[in-house]
Amino acid sequence: MGSPRRVYVGAFAHCKSLEELDICDAGAIGVGESGRIEFIERDVDDISSVLEKQGWKGVKVVKIKDHGFFFPGFIDTHIHAPQYPNAGIFGKTTLIDWLDKYTFPMEASFSSLARARQVYNRIVNRTLSHGTTTAAYYATVHVPATNLLADICHAKHQRAFIGRVCMDTMSPPNYRDTSPEDAVAATRATIQHITSLDPSHSLLIPIITPRFAPSCTPACLSALGRLHKETNLPIQTHIAENHAELDLVRRTFPSHPSYTAVYDDHGLLGPRTVLAHAVHLSPAEVALIRARGAKVSHCPASNTALTSGAAKVRELLLEDITIGLGTDVSGGYSPSVLVAARHAVMVSRHVAMGSGEGEGDAAKLTEAEVLWLATRGGARALGLEERVGGFEVGMEWDAQMVVLGEGVGVDGEGGEAEGPVDVFGWESWEERIAKWLYNGDDRNTAAVWVKGELVHKTQAFSG
C-alpha cells in the first residue's frame, strides 16, 4: 500500500463536464492508502464530525489556506522531453526547417546517457512543479535514454506515457532507425523495460510512437500498426500541423486520399491513438477520426510559435472528438499546461476573429472549457477517464494545491503574496480561478500528488 490515509480539507474545484466547473468552497476529500478517493463531503463546517461519521478519526488532515483550492493534476497529452533545452528557441522557423535546424540535432545528442540524465531529471521536476501529474512523453530513438526517462518518471512517481520515437526515413543519417524491424525491436525493448518497472502499467505506460508519416516508411508504419494490434498499447503521432508537411505527405503517400487515411491504412488510427495538432484537416478527415474514435492533442502555444495555424477546437468538439491539451515542448516554449490552456483561449479568439465580426463567437473557448481540456479531456484522450482528471469517489488522487495570495497591500495589510496572482477577497470563485488561469505560474502550485503520494511541494505547503 502507498501513503497513509489523508483528508484534504477546504475549497476544491474540478470540471464536471465541458461546460460545468464544479466549485465547492468548504469540502473534505478522503483519500485511502490505495491513493483513491474514498469519500467527498461538501458544506463542511466541522471537520471532526466528518471524520467521526466516516470512521476516520485521528487521520492526518491537509488544510488549504484562504483563497486556495485543490484542483485535479494537469494532463499534458503531448510533450517532447529531449527538446526541453530548446524551450523558447525557435527563431522565425516553421515546422520542417525547425526540425532540421533545432530539433533533430538536439535529439541526436541523447545518444549520451549523461545528457539524457541531466535533461530528463529537469523536465520531470519542472512538469511536476507546474502541476502536471500525467505526461505523454516523446523521447528519442535511443533505447537506453528512453528507458532512463522511464526510470526517472518511476522514481519521481509521475504518471507517464513513454514513447521511444520511430523514424526510418527523411531523418538525419546519424539519427534514425536503420529498418522497420529495428524500429519495432527497439520499441519492444522499451516496452519490456517499462513493464519490468511497473508490471501492471499502473503509472508508467509504453506508447507506440511513429514520429509522423513523413519520417516513417510504409513498412515501418505497418509494422507499428501490427505491434499495436498485438499489444493494444496506445499510439501517439503528429497530424496536419503545417502546410509544407501536408505537401510532403501528399508527395510521399500519393495513393492515399488524405493524411489521416495514411495512418488508418496502416492500422494506426483507433480509439487509443492520440493525434497532435490536427490544425489542417478536411471534413472527411474529421469524420474518419471520429469514426475511428481517435483523440486529438491540441497544442496552441506550439501552433502559434511555429506559425502552423489555429486549430478549430470548437468544430472538433462539436464533432464529438475528444481533445486534450499539449505543451508540445519545444514547439511550445513552456512546459506548463496552465500556459497551454491560456494559449488555447487566445487561439480560439483568433479563430473567432477570423470568422468575421460576431459570427465567430461560438469559436471562443471559456475558462471552464480549457480547464476541462487540461484535465478531463486529457484523461479521456489517454484512456484514463475512469481514474484521473476529476474528483469522484473511486478516482485516484492526482491533484494540486493551488494557493492564491492576498498580495502585500500598499497599506501593509494582507498576507504573504503567493505567486503572481493577487486576489482581494471579494472575487467569486470563478473569477479567482480565471485570475489563476491567466496570471498564475508554478509559484501558485504549493503541492502536487500522484495516486495519493506527495510528489512536489513548495514552502507555501505545510501539510
Identify the three-state secondary structure at position 35: coil
Q: Please choose, out of 62-70, 95-103, 169-177, 448-456, the segment that lies near ligand GUN by the rule CB under 6 A.
A: 95-103
The CA–CA distances, whole Å, from 241 to 244, 275, 279, 341 equal: 9, 10, 5, 18
358 Cβ neighbours under 8 A, 6+ residues apart: none
Q: Please choose, out of 166-174, 190-198, 327-335, 436-444, the segment that lies near Zn ion by the rule CB under 5 A.
A: 327-335
Identify the three-state secondary structure at position 389: coil
Distance, CA of 133 to CA of 384 (rounded, Å): 12
- For residue 191, the tally of other CB atoms under 10 A from its CB is 20
Kindly calculate the radius of gyration of the chain based on its CA atoms and give it in whole angstroms.
22
Residue 235: beta bridge partners? 208, 273
Residue 302 is a binding residue for ligand GUN (CB under 6 A): yes
Question: Total number of residues binding Zn ion (CB under 5 A)?
Answer: 1
Residue 204: beta bridge partners? 160
Return the closest-CA partner of residue 213 out of 255, 248, 164: 248
- Beta carbon of residue 182, minimum distance to ligand GUN (angstroms, whole number): 19
User: How are strands ordered across the β-sheet holding 295-298?
Assistant: 235-239, 273-277, 295-298, 323-325
CA atoms within 13 A on the CB side of 21: 24
Instruction: Give me the residue whose beta carbon is nearest to Zn ion.
Output: 328
Identify the three-state secondary structure at position 74: strand
Single out the residue of 328, 369, 396, 398 in contact with ligand GUN (rule: CB under 6 A): 328
293 Ramachandran zone, left/alpha/beta (phi>0; psi -120 to 50): left
Site string for ligand GUN, 35-74 (x = CB under 6 A): ----------------------------------------
Q: Which amino acid is at 172?
A: P
- Beta carbon of residue 203, minimum distance to ligand GUN (angstroms, whole number): 25
Give the nearer residue to Zn ion in terms of CB position, either 241 or 406: 241
Residue 212 is a binding residue for ligand GUN (CB under 6 A): yes
Contact indicator for 388, 72 with CB cutoff of 8 Å: yes
Exposure b/e, 73-89, CB count within 10 A at least 16 = b: bbbbbbbbbbbbbbbee
- Beta carbon of residue 45, minimum distance to ligand GUN (angstroms, whole number): 49
Give the nearer residue to Zn ion in terms of CB position, either 50 or 136: 136
329 to 388, contacts with ligand GUN by CB under 6 A? Answer: 331
Give the nearer residue to ligand GUN in terms of CB position, either 305 or 455: 305
Residue 120 binds which entry of ligand GUN, Zn ion, none, CB below 5-8 Å type-dependent: none
- Beta carbon of residue 131, minimum distance to ligand GUN (angstroms, whole number): 22
98 to 117, contacts with ligand GUN by CB under 6 A? Answer: 99, 103
Give the nearer residue to ligand GUN in terms of CB position, either 159 or 238: 238
Distance, CA of 57 to CA of 5 (rounded, Å): 11
Site string for ligand GUN, 121-150 (x = CB under 6 A): ------------------------------
370 to 399, contacts with Zn ion by CB under 5 A? Answer: none
Query: For residue 96, what is its C-alpha cell?
Result: 520542417
Cis peptide bond upstream of 330, omega within 30 = yes
- Beta carbon of residue 441, minimum distance to ligand GUN (angstroms, whole number): 23
Give the nearer residue to ligand GUN in terms of CB position, either 80 or 266: 80
Residue 177 is a binding residue for ligand GUN (CB under 6 A): no
Return the closest-CA partner of residue 127 out of 270, 317, 329: 329
Q: Please choose, out of 91-99, 150-158, 267-275, 325-333, the segment that lies near Zn ion by the rule CB under 5 A.
A: 325-333
Single out the residue of 264, 328, 398, 406 in contact with Zn ion (rule: CB under 5 A): 328
Single out the residue of 36, 67, 211, 295 in contact with ligand GUN (rule: CB under 6 A): 211
Single out the residue of 228, 238, 266, 343 in contact with ligand GUN (rule: CB under 6 A): 238
Question: Total number of residues binding ligand GUN (CB under 6 A)?
Answer: 11
Packed helices 180-197 and 143-156: angle between N→C axes, nearest 10 degrees: 20
Give the nearer residue to ligand GUN in terms of CB position, either 343 or 456: 343
Give residues in contact with Zn ion (CB under 5 A): 328
Give residues in contact with ligand GUN (CB under 6 A): 80, 95, 99, 103, 211-212, 238, 241, 302, 328, 331
